[in-house]
């Protein structure tokens, strides 16, 4: 698998677009399932990430994650804990670590999406997306904070000072807003949303077997 957009133009390489948020646990679970399916099927694919904010109106200071989920979805504390336990188990089976805690917070991710957009032309979009998932879920870092974002960018080889400048002047704010609007106007209201070959939309984390079946079918149809 490659995250190189240009690779999608090569023969027999399947383009996969994923609309997601870095604070969405099912987005990283879904991607890890898809990644494993790609490995198991041997399908050549390129992954392209697109922005989506679970909570575009979230205040800068964020909100306690458990309280936020309970209020947003009407779940009980027990249901919330059960969901965390399930995600932790699923993540472990896919090689991803969730470290939920009582003080885990739901955060605003607009800056994170701007930074991912900036990283794209430098060939670091995929690496930064993965690093931000890990920073938030594994390391419990504040991915709404400019300094944290710059540190994560630097850790994967991007220029820290330039990352800070990008976030401070908001040079990519409008283009990210427009891309978010494009996807919502095209019916994407929940993530992960996975679009295969620019035409087949699959919503939610579907599991390795289902993703494998989808990949095989698309390859069969292409042949």
Note the pLDDT tens digit of each residue in 46-72.
999 999 999 999 988 899 999 999 999
CA distance 135 to 43: 29
User: Cα dihedral angle (212, 206, 5, 170), rounded to 10 degrees?
Assistant: -170
Q: In the chain, what are the domains?
A: 5-222 (3.40.30.10)
Q: What is the pTM of this model?
A: 0.93
Q: What is the mean pLDDT of the chain?
A: 94
Cα–Cα distances in angstroms (integers) from residue 11 to residues 31, 45, 223, in the given order = 23, 11, 11
Contacts with 202 (C-beta within 8 Å, 6 or more apart), sequence order: 193, 194, 195, 196, 214
Q: Residue 190: its pLDDT value, please?
A: 95
Q: Does the CA dihedral 70-73-76-79 come out positive or negative?
A: negative
Find the mean pLDDT for residues 174-195: 97
Q: How many CB atoms lie within 10 A of CB 89?
A: 11
pLDDT score for 202 = 97
Task: State percent of the chain over pLDDT 70.
Answer: 95
């Amino acid at each position: 698998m490659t995250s190189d957009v240009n690779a999608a133009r090569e023969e027999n390489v399947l383009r996969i677009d994923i609309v997601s948020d870095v604070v969405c646990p099912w987005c990283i679970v879904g991607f890890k399932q898809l990644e494993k399916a790609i490995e198991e099927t041997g399908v050549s694919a390129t992954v392209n990430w697109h922005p989506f904010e679970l909570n575009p109106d979230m205040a800068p200071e964020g909100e306690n994650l458990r309280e936020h989920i309970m209020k947003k979805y009407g779940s009980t504390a027990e249901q919330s804990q059960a969901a965390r336990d399930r995600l932790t188990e699923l993540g472990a089976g896919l090689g991803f670590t969730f470290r939920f805690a009582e003080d885990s917070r739901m955060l605003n991710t607009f800056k994170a999406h701007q930074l991912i957009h900036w990283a794209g032309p430098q060939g670091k979009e995929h690496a930064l997306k993965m690093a931000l998932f890990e920073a938030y879920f594994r390391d419990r870092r504040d991915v709404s904070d400019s300094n944290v974002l710059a540190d994560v960018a630097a850790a994967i080889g991007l220029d820290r000072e330039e990352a800070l400048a990008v976030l401070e002047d908001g040079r990519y704010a409008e283009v990210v807003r427009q891309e978010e609007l494009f996807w919502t106007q095209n019916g994407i209201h929940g993530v992960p949303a996975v679009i295969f070959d620019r035409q087949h939309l699959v919503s939610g984390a579907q599991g390795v077997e289902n993703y494998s079946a989808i990949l095989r079918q698309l390859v069969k149809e292409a042949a």
